Amino acid sequence: MPGSFHRTITLTYVAVTSLLVAGCSFEQSALHPAGQDAGELSALAWFMFAAAVVVWSIVMGAAIYAVLGRKRPKSERFADRLILGGGVAFPTVGLAILLVFGLSLLPSWTSAETPDLRVHVRAEQFWWRLGYEQADGSLIETANELHLPNGATVEFVLSSTDVIHSFWIPALGGKMDAIPGRTNQLRLTPTKPGTYRGVCAEFCGPSHALMAFPVVVHEEGGFEQWTEQQRQPASVRSDAFLSAGCGGCHVVRGVSEAGAVGPDLTHFGSRSTIGAGTLRNTRENLIAWITAPAHIKPGAAMPSFQSLPEAERAAIADYLMELR
């Protein structure tokens, strides 16, 4: 399929949808690709859509002609030819072409080549634990916001601690399940800097719908800068945070490294969302979250801190916002 066909159709589509639905960002769309696989697959999607419209029109045309058309007597041989031509020859040829072409896109999913970056993703109800593998094999741990360098081939190593989840960033490419007891690999190559959105695609419990994450694809050099910043431990302490027992479940490197049950909060203030893509990261939202997480996100494991004095909740929120 010529690339120009796809480019034209995608550009037209993007233009039309943007006009129709002004104010939408389509950052979770497989049809607004920002990655190599997503690009190929959206091309495949448009090609198959076009072919489907043609096939549907032919078959329905034949059916409607059969019902409404003026009849000349036709022979039984005509029937046999129609059945064999329409039912055997036509789909066999069409499907063979589609299959060869479609499966040629498969090898890009798995490859023996060393990727440019390896990110360990552990899915948990209902958030994402992320570890960026460094040259020495160590991990920089963070959570719920994925940062990637543009143009790099990234391998995601997917696992799960509780139930089956599925890791999906539509704008970059296909999804892959995270299954307890197994490790799956998925490779994606972002091709366009910007902010996108990933989600859990396999139903995983009450807050399946609220298990998302922003994906930031950096321009040249931006990712290295971000990594350097994430590598640093936190520089400030907070008595409110520690005395409320937050450290029992959350790591803030350099401050409290005992509990790793919940998301790492070392650079929480630098993230754009709270609760794995559930709320925008603002002070008010954060206080509301600390007050009653399960009210915002059904089934969330974090307990309610309603019993804390309001001032302390605010102090914790202020502290977390400070962790940039």
- Candidate list 127, 156, 168, 241; residue touching other proteins; CB under 8 A: 168
Q: How far is the CB of 58 from other proteins (least distance, A)?
A: 10
Backbone angles phi, psi at 160, to 5 degrees: -140, 150
Binding of other proteins by 123 (CB under 8 A): no
Give the Cα separation of 243 and 125 in Å (integer).
26
- Candidate list 4, 9, 15, 31; residue touching other proteins; CB under 8 A: 31
Residue numbers 144-163 binding other proteins by CB under 8 A: 162-163
Binding of other proteins by 71 (CB under 8 A): yes
Q: How far is the CB of 124 from other proteins (least distance, A)?
A: 13
- Whether 196 and 32 have beta carbons less than 8 Å apart is answered as no
Binding of other proteins by 298 (CB under 8 A): yes
Give the Cα separation of 268 and 250 in Å (integer).
11
- Which of 180, 142, 137 lies closest to 158 in space, CA to CA? 180
Binding of other proteins by 16 (CB under 8 A): no
Q: How far is the CB of 221 from other proteins (least distance, A)?
A: 29
Residue-wise DSSP of 281-292: --HHHHHHHHH-
Q: How far is the CB of 68 from other proteins (least distance, A)?
A: 8
Give the Cα separation of 47 and 31 in Å (integer).
12
Residue numbers 74-93 binding other proteins by CB under 8 A: 74, 76, 78-80, 82-83, 85-88, 90-92
Binding of other proteins by 299 (CB under 8 A): yes
Sorted by sequence, the CB contacts under 8 Å of residue 130 that are 6+ apart come out as 119, 120, 121, 141, 142, 143, 144, 145, 146
**Nearer to other proteins (CB atom), residue 5 or residue 56:** 56
